[in-house]
Amino acid sequence: MKKPTRRADRPATVAASAEPAPMPTLAHAPMSDIIDALAAGRVTATALTKFYLARIEAYDRHGPMLNAVRALNPDALTIAGKLDDTRPSVKRPLAGVPILIKDNIATSDRQPTTAGSLALEGARARRDATVVKLLRNAGAVILGKANLTEFANILAMDMPSGYSSLGGQVKNPYAPALMDDRGIPVVSPGGSSSGSAVAVAAGLCAASIGTETSGSLLFPASQNGLVTVKPTVGLISRAGIVPIAHSQDTAGPMTRNVRDAALLLNVLAAKDPRDPVTLRQRRPADYTAGLASDVMKGARIGVPSDPADPLNDPYYGKLAPKWTKVMTEAIKVMEDLGAVVVRASMPTAGWMAGPGTTMAVFNRNPLSRNKGNPMMQSVVFLYELKHDLNLYLKDWATNTEIKTIADIVAFNEAHAEKALRFGQDLFLAANATRGDLSEREYKSARAMDLLAAKTRGMDAYINQHKLDAVLFPGSMGAAIAAKAGYPSVMVPGGFVSGADDKDTPDYPLGITFAGSAWSEHKLLRLAYAFEQASNMRKPPPGLPAL
């Protein structure tokens, strides 16, 4: 990919002499190409916003009815109109770029912030979340709120990805079919940020913002052929984001290529007194710097799969043949680029949960195959949920009578027919905690999570083998990196098919580069080199230009 010419008055992605591109090509164009078109005056913010609104109407509301966009911003066109005379620049790199944000990220405008819950229908926020403020300052047009798994998938066990009682079910654009008996997707749209991912994959926005506690950026990016960055906890402010667990929560970009993810990270990675953990962040001046095709040469990539130790192979040992083929070909690409691939098992003490880190919760989901059985869940998630969600409802939520997690539980029970299709067993368990994080079992569980995943897991593995990154199939390494608070970068790796013994169309599978704290820049460079050599992203079929 030719490196664009940089000028003092334009961001790094803006080419001074780009060839004109017809409007329809923008549907699946990288955000950087869209910025180029805006900077060159080939398209206005208003025309671009209308373009995406038309695609949302055609493919999200009608046609395959992807249901990725929970609600549109009623002021989007007004905002775009005010930006028509503003070109992207170093100061405002996203001027006129329409972006969707997940509906657990607060906005102080006329858009509700609901986390997909009927209990929070109509709830608004006192102020913009910090990530929204940064996007607005950079000139972005907030196009609307993306649908999600309700409360970011902490309401009920076995709730399907992308389902919320307020927004309904998100569909995978590569394979949108639903199971006839339950209305659940045959091919998952991904984790709780599924609406954010599907919208980008389907060409409904230039880019989107999602959130993750453990896998909710990585899984939907993998299922939808996207790039995402699950950053080090503390790189991006969580202030104004409906929480699950502050120990692991973060926001992140969802884009069509690595450069776009780096561009958004430039905007989003900022210190914020409202989220004190960001005050210790470390970041480069420009995440797009050094994105080159030759950076893989000499890089040490850990593949946690040792043929001499087949029993300790949780990440590669039980992959389906089509997954194995994708990963084998991806590893060959890296070796051809000069990477040193280190095949060694992850220490068992790392990937297995430490003592006391999980607790049994009774599964009350009426549609679950495990209904009536106790299932092991994260202690940290359930104890931090009550504490953190109550603080959000107190400090951020307005225009609602819901003030605590107990209020949500009561509302759901009173409106069970609509609100509790899949139950609320996790909220019931969380509500039974004290809510002040004073319990010894919580403190022990958090310490053991860090000991297992960080000290005896990622740190031990990376240090022992002197690795630049650890390579995981799909989102299978999400939990260990998330518990450690470490970053991961997802990039499209190939295509697979089949789900639950059913034949399906081909859909994407991503690969994950994970690393130590604040290593996002290194991971982005490695992902970029792989992306340029493999060129694995293909838009979903059946969503042509209008």
- Within 8 A by CB and 6+ apart from 306, the residues are 312, 313, 343, 344, 345
Report which of 440, 477, 484, 452 is spatially closest to residue 354, judged by C-alpha positions.
Answer: 452
Catalytic residues: 102, 192, 216
Nearest-angstrom CA–CA distance, 227 and 255:
5
- H/E stretch holding 449: helix 440-449
Rg (alpha carbons) of the chain, rounded to whole number: 22
Nearest-angstrom CA–CA distance, 262 and 289:
9
Nearest-angstrom CA–CA distance, 420 and 414:
10
- H/E stretch holding 91: none
The structure tokens listed for 26 are 């923008």
Nearest-angstrom CA–CA distance, 234 and 295:
26
Nearest-angstrom CA–CA distance, 98 and 31:
10
Q: Do the Cβ atoms of 543 and 202 come closer than 8 Å? A: yes
Report which of 16, 46, 240 is spatially closest to residue 135, judged by C-alpha positions.
Answer: 240
Three-state secondary-structure class, residue 144: strand
Three-state secondary-structure class, residue 533: helix
